[in-house]
Amino acid sequence: MPTHSAQATWNGNLQDGKGTFEGSTGAISGAYSFKSRFEGNDDTSPEELIGAAHAGCFSMALSNILAEAGHTPEDVTTDANVTLEMVDGDPTITTIHLTTKGVVPGIDNDTFVQHAQAAKEGCPVSKALAGVTIKLDAELVG
């Protein structure tokens, strides 16, 4: 299995500095800052990148679980909301809320939700983030 990498650079102090990141393939890159993490300006943030990674991994895992159960999905779309809060004076990622919707012929909503729960437990990014509360809402659509 391959090893994937990214690089980040930070210039200056915490509140006035700025940073950039880039994945080794060049497919992702951007700027981030104190304001993007703690005040929500238009730059990205490490939390946004974690959300994108988690949503992507979860969608792939759920699609695989569904296909292995004989229900190849037409579409699985997942949003990941990553919450950064102060805990004991330290900024901490406390919660990731996954909201997924799937178009999967031949399956009922309860079965979809069961498979989504299995994907939440089994996707590699969920496992890497085991110290974070991960919530899940799943809905079969279409």
The domain spanning residue 65 has which CATH number? 3.30.300.20
Tell me: the pLDDT tens digits for 44-74? Answer: 999 999 999 999 999 999 999 999 999 999 9
Confidence of residue 41 (pLDDT cuts 50, 70, 90): confident
Count the domains in the chain: 2
- Residue 118 in any domain: the answer is yes
Indicate the helix (H) or strand (E) that contains 127: helix 124-128
- Residue 10 in any domain: the answer is yes
C-alpha closest to that of 62 among 104, 115, 135: 115
Let me know whether 82 and 58 are in one domain. yes
Let me know whether 63 and 13 are in one domain. no
- Residue 88 in any domain: the answer is yes
Confidence of residue 85 (pLDDT cuts 50, 70, 90): very high
Let me know whether 104 and 87 are in one domain. yes
- Model-level pTM? 0.93
Q: Measured between alpha carbons, how far is 116 from 122 in angstroms, rounded to an integer?
A: 10
Angle, CA 74 vertex, CA 71 and CA 127 arms, to 5°? 70
Q: Measured between alpha carbons, how far is 75 from 55 in angstroms, rounded to an integer?
A: 13
> Could you list the residue range(s) of the whole structural domain that residue 13 is in?
6-38
Over residues 31-43, mean pLDDT = 86
Q: Measured between alpha carbons, how far is 43 from 32 in angstroms, rounded to an integer?
A: 5
Let me know whether 87 and 23 are in one domain. no
pLDDT of 1 reads 82
pLDDT of 23 reads 93
pLDDT of 29 reads 93
Tell me: the pLDDT tens digits for 90-134? Answer: 999 999 999 999 999 999 999 999 999 999 999 999 999 999 999
